Amino acid sequence: MGIVVQKFGGTSVADSKKIKNVANAVIKEYKNGNQVVVVVSAMGHSTDYLINLAGEITQKPDNREMDMLISSGEQVSMALLAMAIHEAGYPAVSLLASQVGILTESVHNRARIIDVKTEKLEKHLSENKIIVVAGFQGITKEGEITTLGRGGSDTSAVALAVALKADRCDIYTDVRAVYTADPRYVPKASRLEQVSYIEMLELARVGANVLHPRSVETANQFNVPMRVRSSFYLDDPGTLIIGVEDMEIYRPVNGVAADKSQVRIAILKVPDQPGIAARIFGALSKNNISVDMIIQSLEEDNANNIAFTVDETDLNSTLSILEEVRMNLGAKEIVVDNDIAKISIVGAGMIDRPGIAASMFEALAEQNINIKMIATSEIKISCLVEKERAHEAVRALHSKFELDDENAEADKVKL
């Protein structure tokens, strides 16, 4: 007995048959005596479809209109799910974020949630209704519709769980659990029964693609137990995401991931003076471009080369900003390398355990894979390698850190 938030992603609600299947999963929780709040994503790839449509009209869609457009996908799936629950004989009501009162900052396309009103939710729950909420969207205090960034329904779910003090937040998806690597190219990937928020957050950031990073950040901040599980195998407990203090740490590395969506940009022969890095990265941050790995090396003649990575979607804006900075600084040239992938190992167990980085480099060397750049944090080490060797690199690291599951079942293959 308690409040349970369940979130279903696009693949789980991709067609009417799957929506009926989701209705069953929701009703199962409800029949167990729980109060159930469901968050849905848009059906299948409908958000991509809407974005493409906008692209056929204009290359520079207005941010506000983009939110008006792409927030509509979730309105469709929430209404259909409520109908499917009715059809099965149970009470349900669907609500848009504006009707619930999911307040966000006044930023389009990547707004953060500021507050979630609970009055309306509590009223419906007290009337024993199942509530279906549109994920991914919010409303500003001025009444404008916003969206939370791609994949943001996970964050909607966690925010609702926090506001309602839910006992659980279950994220239903098309894989059975979180794995030590992507099973699509690492057949021996093993299932994680538990993973800590900080590890999951790093894994989400380095391209594991299971959860929206902000959902994990919020769950961590408010200590909401989150579970990743399959909407097609309802009895499978999936993976529990909890605080590191509640976890048993028995190995240094818990996951290996590849991110193939970054590009490396180098600005060559910038003067070796104080304030130069501040000017380059200040200009980028003012334009909301987040920079990932950075490396600076000393060239001859008091000049440095500075290289860094950004997401490929930010490439064009980065280059135009950088060109201006380059001219002002009198730097020689800007060089772009598209042929990169960032390979990362993540594990809370690497804290205070020396030699992990060395083992990583060794594993790559054994495969004759060249490292183009290195970055480390407390629980993560990332290397840039050639794009086409990315998967091979991940498999080599997966074995090196003894994550291979020789009996890996076929269950992990995407449904």
Which residues of the chain form contacts with Mg ion (CB under 5 A)? Answer: 9, 151
One symbol per residue from 374 to 393: x for binding ligand ASP (CB under 6 A), - otherwise; what is it?
--------------------
Under the phi-then-psi rule, with left for phi > 0, alpha for psi from -120 to 50, and beta for the rest, what region is 44? left
Q: Give every CB contact of residue 27 below 8 A, 6+ residues apart in sequence.
A: 85, 88, 90, 130
Q: Give every CB contact of residue 223 below 8 A, 6+ residues apart in sequence.
A: 243
Cβ neighbour number for residue 290 with a 10 Å cutoff: 9
Cβ proximity to ligand ASP: between 261 and 273 the closer is 261
Q: What is the 3-state secondary structure (H, E, C) of 360-394?
A: HHHHHHHCCCCCCEEEEECCEEEEEEEHHHHHHHH
Interaction between residue 308 and ligand ASP (CB under 6 A): no
Partner that binds at residue 44, options Mg ion, ligand ASP, none, CB closer than 5 to 8 Å by kind: none
One symbol per residue from 54 to 73: x for binding ligand ASP (CB under 6 A), - otherwise; what is it?
-------------------x
Q: How far is the CB of 280 from Mg ion (least distance, A)?
A: 33
The answer to whether 226 touches 216, Cβ cutoff 8 Å, is: yes
Rounded CA-CA distance 320/374 in Å is 26
Partner that binds at residue 255, options Mg ion, ligand ASP, none, CB closer than 5 to 8 Å by kind: none
Cβ proximity to ligand ASP: between 75 and 317 the closer is 75
Cβ proximity to ligand ASP: between 151 and 238 the closer is 151
Partner that binds at residue 116, options ligand ASP, Mg ion, none, CB closer than 5 to 8 Å by kind: none
Token readout for 86 is: 């009715």
Could you say which residues in the range 112-151 bind ligand ASP, by CB under 6 A?
135-136, 150-151
Cβ proximity to Mg ion: between 41 and 344 the closer is 41
Q: How far is the CB of 366 from Mg ion (least distance, A)?
A: 35
End-to-end CA distance of the chain: 31
One symbol per residue from 72 to 91: x for binding ligand ASP (CB under 6 A), - otherwise; what is it?
-x------------------
Partner that binds at residue 215, options ligand ASP, Mg ion, none, CB closer than 5 to 8 Å by kind: none
- Closest by alpha carbon to 344, among 253, 414, 264? 253
Count of CA atoms in the C-beta half-sphere (13 A) of 325: 25
Interaction between residue 41 and ligand ASP (CB under 6 A): yes
Q: How far is the CB of 173 from Mg ion (least distance, A)?
A: 7
Q: How far is the CB of 184 from ligand ASP (least distance, A)?
A: 19
DSSP 305-371: EEEEEEEGGGHHHHHHHHHHHHHHHT--EEEEE--EEEEEEE-GGGTT-TTHHHHHHHHHHHTTPPP
Cβ proximity to ligand ASP: between 134 and 341 the closer is 134
Interaction between residue 152 and ligand ASP (CB under 6 A): yes
Partner that binds at residue 150, options ligand ASP, Mg ion, none, CB closer than 5 to 8 Å by kind: ligand ASP
Rounded CA-CA distance 342/243 in Å is 26
Residue 304: helix, strand or coil by DSSP? strand
Rounded CA-CA distance 396/188 in Å is 11
Q: How far is the CB of 57 from ligand ASP (least distance, A)?
A: 19
Cβ proximity to ligand ASP: between 153 and 304 the closer is 153
Q: Which stretch binds ligand ASP (CB under 6 A): 21-29, 40-48, 301-309, 394-402?
A: 40-48
Q: Which stretch binds ligand ASP (CB under 6 A): 27-35, 39-47, 213-221, 407-415?
A: 39-47
Residue 277: helix, strand or coil by DSSP? helix
Cβ proximity to ligand ASP: between 135 and 207 the closer is 135
- Which of 3, 4, 5, 10 is the binder for ligand ASP (CB under 6 A)? 10
Q: Give every CB contact of residue 56 below 8 A, 6+ residues apart in sequence.
A: none
Enclosing H/E stretch for 267: strand 262-271
Cβ proximity to ligand ASP: between 136 and 308 the closer is 136
Cβ proximity to ligand ASP: between 73 and 183 the closer is 73
Q: How far is the CB of 44 from ligand ASP (least distance, A)?
A: 9
Beta bridge partners of 93: 131
Rounded CA-CA distance 198/202 in Å is 6
Cβ proximity to Mg ion: between 47 and 180 the closer is 47
> Contact residues for ligand ASP (CB under 6 A)?
9-10, 41-42, 47, 73, 135-136, 150-153
